[in-house]
């Protein structure tokens, strides 16, 4: 088995799709500070191995965003990436491999789209053929001289995500205004304006959103994830009684391993109180 076949075997053992691209075009797309970080972290950076992790587990009612109901994807992706990097280092001795999932200098959606894994939606998300936009993007940066990649394709451009965004956060230019994004606001620990508070109070979520994905026609008929960490032991909702009497430390312990716990208890308590006042 040659090196490329072995890489395929390693990445296909866990990812829902993968591709290899040359790093230079992605570096040119990045800001100067992130370019510097990327090159410092992987000297001789030459290529990016791009992967997606599907997380869709159905759309049962709940006040938590679909992505946050299973295990925190940073932990899940981190385990897969760490193991893959170890295997790749054994396969290519003397070379460097470093994995990233979300906390990264790279524009992960753009890189994965360049790798042919999907189109870029008007909401800025990667839309894959099989899993829709319900995926996490992962990257393994390396110093191997691989080539490949092409300019990403846009989605069909129907505009439903922009029209349906409750805060009007999506611009025609494809930019996201975080100050109007319900998902960002539910996670914010800072002070909110009355308008922002009202937006949360009238939403179905106390963490995250999902609306721009739920209305997307390219998300119809998406496949359920095969990853147990995202489909088993899931938490669909958090209610006021779930948080009663909990300190921040106790909350983090109770919900350890969940993506909605990393900001602490305060945002969730605030959001639940805002919804209670509305009722």
Residues recognised as catalytic: 102
39, with CB counted inside 10 A (0-12, 13-18, 19+), is middle
Q: How far apart are CA 279 and CA 46, in angstroms?
A: 55
SS (H, E, C) 176-226: ECHHHCHHHHHHCCCCCCHHHHHHHHCCCCCECCCHHHHCCHHHCCCCCCC
135: three-class secondary structure by DSSP: strand
Which stretches of the chain are assigned E, i.e. beta strand? 18-22, 47-54, 97-100, 119-120, 126-127, 135-142
Are 84 and 11 contacting, i.e. CB atoms less than 8 angstroms apart? yes
Q: How far apart are CA 114 and CA 109, in angstroms?
A: 9
Q: How far apart are CA 202 and CA 166, in angstroms?
A: 10
Structure tokens given for 34 = 């992130």
Q: Are strands 126-127 and 97-100 parallel, antiparallel or unpaired?
A: unpaired
């Amino acid at each position: 088995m040659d090196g490329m076949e072995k890489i395929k075997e390693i990445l296909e053992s866990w990812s829902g799709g993968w591709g290899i691209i040359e790093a230079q075009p992605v570096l040119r797309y990045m800001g100067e500070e992130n370019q510097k970080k990327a090159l410092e972290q992987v000297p001789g950076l030459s290529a990016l191995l791009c992967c997606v992790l599907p997380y869709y587990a159905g759309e049962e009612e709940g006040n938590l965003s679909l992505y946050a109901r299973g295990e925190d994807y940073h932990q899940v992706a981190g385990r897969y990436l760490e193991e893959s990097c170890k295997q790749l280092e054994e396969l290519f001795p003397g070379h460097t491999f470093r994995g990233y999932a979300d906390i990264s200098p790279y524009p992960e959606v753009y890189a994965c789209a360049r790798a042919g894994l999907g189109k870029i939606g008007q909401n800025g998300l990667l839309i894959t053929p099989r899993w829709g936009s319900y995926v996490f993007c992962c990257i393994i940066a390396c110093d191997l001289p691989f080539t490949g990649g092409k300019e990403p394709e846009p989605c069909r451009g129907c505009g439903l995500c922009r029209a349906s965004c409750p805060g009007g956060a999506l611009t025609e230019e494809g930019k996201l205004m975080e100050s109007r994004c319900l998902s960002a606001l539910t996670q914010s620990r800072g002070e909110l304006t009355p308008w922002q508070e009202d937006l949360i109070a009238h939403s179905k979520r106390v963490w995250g959103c999902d609306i721009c994905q739920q209305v997307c026609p390219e998300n119809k008929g998406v496949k359920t994830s095969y990853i147990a960490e995202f489909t088993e032991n899931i938490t669909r909702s958090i209610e006021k009684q779930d948080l009663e009497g909990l300190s921040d430390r106790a909350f983090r312990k109770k919900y350890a391993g969940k993506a909605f716990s990393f900001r602490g208890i305060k945002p969730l308590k605030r959001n639940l109180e805002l919804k209670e006042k509305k009722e």
